Chains A and B, each alone.
Chain A
């Protein structure tokens, strides 16, 4: 079944190529892109069944030599965490394409170019999660920036140039520092083995035995890259700009998928390669994580722009994920990984719903809306559901993960956990307040009333406009329902029965913790 993984890498690239030739015909481009992304989804489904949770650490591995002089190989394989992430990418991309179906691109831009970049982004991101060669990982980590740079810069809002360059430079700098560490690890391996290699498994063996000073330096190089990517406070400032300026589908990809590379990298690279340093530096990382939870929550509460709001919500969530990872218990680890998945789904859904709101009002300012549930009850319900899963209401998918993170972190890190719990309260505040301002009360706001007035330029007064808007602002269309329906199903399904996902994740998290060499207090207690 190795071919499935390779096909997952190749199919979107072929799709991108085909779509790039359809720049003249927007409709055909959209259909072809959607078809390729659905094929990718089917392949991801096959991958899920091909993966054996109790099997090897890295499965479906395959590879060929690339640069023999440095022992670099094109080498791919997945563990449970990578599998989950690849699945969620494959799930979100068709939804993103569907959600952007009627979105108007800036003048002179074609759907063909846009969708082609999205498919390239999909392929490269799958590659980042599937790479098992550190050099290859770095290469894809940096290459991943290029399509995103053009997506934000070419198709975004007013300050897109600034946002695109900022996004690129932050990640590029982080990546370069990581490269220095990777070369350091390579140099150690070539000293020890007599022949250099970038193979992940080999490097884990070699580097994890290094003395703690060396580990600390190498750890910091990798950590900076992942902390920028994830993003942890104070390396987060690119995200609100990128999220606010990107078109809504791209925001889903940035927040829902790309950011996960950061936390994935922590689990796959930081912990196994530098166990000593990870343990020593964990308190500092946890300070950043908890700071992220509080800072992100507070700033989300204060945002006036919905897209920036989404970015800060994510920053808070990444604080939780990092808390779980650096608590070194299997419950918290499993919680973090499932949080990575659930964050993609619930925040992805929230972004898509917010995108639908913005598509109706033409503004991303919260103050431009009000009382929308009167004209769009279904949309309002979806925003509430997406909001509730974002604040981790029991019965939704995120609850399971957030609960696991907190309960798993408490035994080892009680103080941090207690502080982070405040974030849950703030989450209720910012989500419900957002819902209240946009959806409830009398119909108001420039975007809603203005949109109606704009359509009837001869309307004599505002009161007529208020009547007219009922026809101007419609409820969810069939297409939008089709986009949101799968997410609703998954949110509820994983909320009530998360076991299939947890089964896939648990062995990998267990293996990661074994590589770190911590005895898991929770498991020990259960053993007694």
Chain B
């Protein structure tokens, strides 16, 4: 008996720094409340309540984050929950990025003006073409499960970028992935494509998770701990078997690169981007990218910085493959969503360049550059998908490129905005896309990756071709007589698109504020 008491006294409850993890708690807590509301509220009240709750949650989370960031806090960040979560400057930056991008995505998700009843159906699993399927496709009551699912995914993403050990990271990975698998299958139109997307994403995602977990196991075998810092210490100077370390690293990175849609682990991306409901595609393209690269940055800089000379060559090659795949396969696409998907693969290659731009002296110019790029890219992508959701014909979205011909004649403002966003994706100066590329490439040159930068620049030029092709279609081609119409967007979609476009412009003209902010502090190690 005494022994038990003694043991119980030895187990100390971990210290929890509530102020630091408040944003995380708010988002996950609201997700739970949101599930309860779904069960308790009558159906006609749900949409309004859920939407208000979700938006308030995001605003509240950003508020609490700002409160914490401006308060007296340790310069290098704090590790809390027994060291499972690290709240340092990069975490805070990525959290804000995720929350604001999440805000934009939620606006797109909530929109009911473009598609009567919203872009989602209630049950993902009904067989397409059946009576029930047609019945649920014509039902106009908005399905509100998407709100808690989105909040859970967002909470998972936030945990993922702040996870300080690999097990927490794995759990966060699952928390962010599972709602996304489901959300992908909920598209109101083109049900079969949507279901295919969900299944494909789930199967490949499950594989990637397995890789990740196997990697974690091997690394535990190597270091005797799953903590990132412990792995770094172990790799710093021991005579343990390098095989375990690098096999573990390889498997772990495969899992991460899969989530980030870096080629050659991108095979799911075009299909899922195409099949998922467009607001969800926007959410995935913007937020999942941020989360995945946030995780990659932390793992590479905190756990594997010492061994960078061993793995840098491999990721170098991966970045090249990703850029080449994205740029070249993007050229052959005829669907707007697939085209942006391949563009995101190319962008993932650019981001990977920033992620591996570590210098031996330990100042990592690539970290802040990559984070800036993520923020810039996220806003541009959300606005771009917002516009994709507006161009419609009787079958839903008209995503085939030929249907975009002559769009500028009928909807000059939509065409002009989309052109601007495409120029940002291509990295033309005076857009955030250019500043993003510039900071990433200068960080890479500083870290001695000049040949990689030259390859990246050539890839950018190739990729520019398919963005230009869309602009050519919109401006210089004659519209098809039975072409799609541009839906006048409701307030939510308008706000989301405007937010994305304005941020793209502002960061292109005055990036200093965000650059400075991304450059403060480094990862807690």
Contact = CB atoms under 8 A, between A and B. Distances in A.
A421 interface: no
Interface string A169-195: 100110011011001101100100000
A183 B438 contact: yes
B430 interface: yes
A36 B239 CA distance: 76
B423 A146 contact: yes
A172 B442 contact: no
A164 interface: yes
A164 B472 contact: yes
A99 B373 CA distance: 46
A168 B454 CA distance: 19
A87 B510 CA distance: 31
Interface residues of B, number: 36
Contacts of B457: 173, 176-177, 179-180
A177 B519 CA distance: 26
Contacts of B426: 172
A187 B359 CA distance: 14
B297 interface: no
Interface size class of A (residues with CB under 8 A): 20 to 34
Contact of A186 (B442, B453, B458, B464): B442
B430 A143 contact: yes
B233 to A, nearest CB: 32
Contacts of A172: 426, 428, 461, 464
Q: Give the one of B429, B445, B477, B515 with max A CB within 10 A.
A: B429
B477 A161 contact: yes
Contacts of A143: 428-430
B140 interface: no
A386 to B, nearest CB: 31
B515 A69 contact: yes
Given A68-B512, A69-B515, A108-B409, A169 B468 contact: yes
A69 B512 contact: yes
B469 interface: yes
B428 A146 contact: yes
A375 interface: no
Contact of A180 (B423, B430, B446, B453): B453
B429 A160 contact: no
B450 interface: yes
A168 B428 CA distance: 11
Interface string B428-448: 111000110011011001100
B214 interface: no
Nearest to B515: A69
Interface in A144-167: 145-146, 149-150, 153-154, 160-161, 164-165
B465 A179 contact: no
A139 interface: yes
Given A179-B457, A183-B453, A139 B429 contact: yes
Contacts of A67: 435, 510-512, 515
Interface in A44-82: 67-70
B472 A161 contact: yes
B458 A139 contact: no
A165 B469 CA distance: 8
B475 interface: yes
B446 to A, nearest CB: 6
B460 interface: yes
Contacts of B442: 70, 183, 186-187
A183 B434 CA distance: 13
Given A180-B441, A183-B441, A150 B475 contact: yes
Nearest to A144: B429
B516 interface: yes
B423 A165 contact: no
A70 B441 CA distance: 13
B445 A168 contact: no
B25 to A, nearest CB: 33
Contacts of A186: 442
Interface in A391-445: none
Interface of B: 409, 423, 426, 428-430, 434-435, 438-439, 441-442, 445-446, 450, 453-454, 457-458, 460-461, 464-465, 468-469, 471-472, 475-477, 510-512, 515-516, 519
Q: Which 3 A/B pairs are nearest by Cβ-Cβ distance?
A: A139-B429, A173-B461, A176-B457
Interface of A: 67-70, 108, 138-140, 142-143, 145-146, 149-150, 153-154, 160-161, 164-165, 168-169, 172-173, 176-177, 179-180, 183-184, 186-187, 190
25 contacts: A67-B435, A67-B510, A67-B512, A69-B512, A69-B519, A70-B438, A138-B429, A139-B429, A140-B429, A143-B428, A143-B429, A145-B428, A146-B428, A153-B475, A168-B464, A168-B468, A169-B461, A169-B468, A176-B457, A176-B458, A177-B457, A183-B442, A184-B445, A186-B442, A187-B446
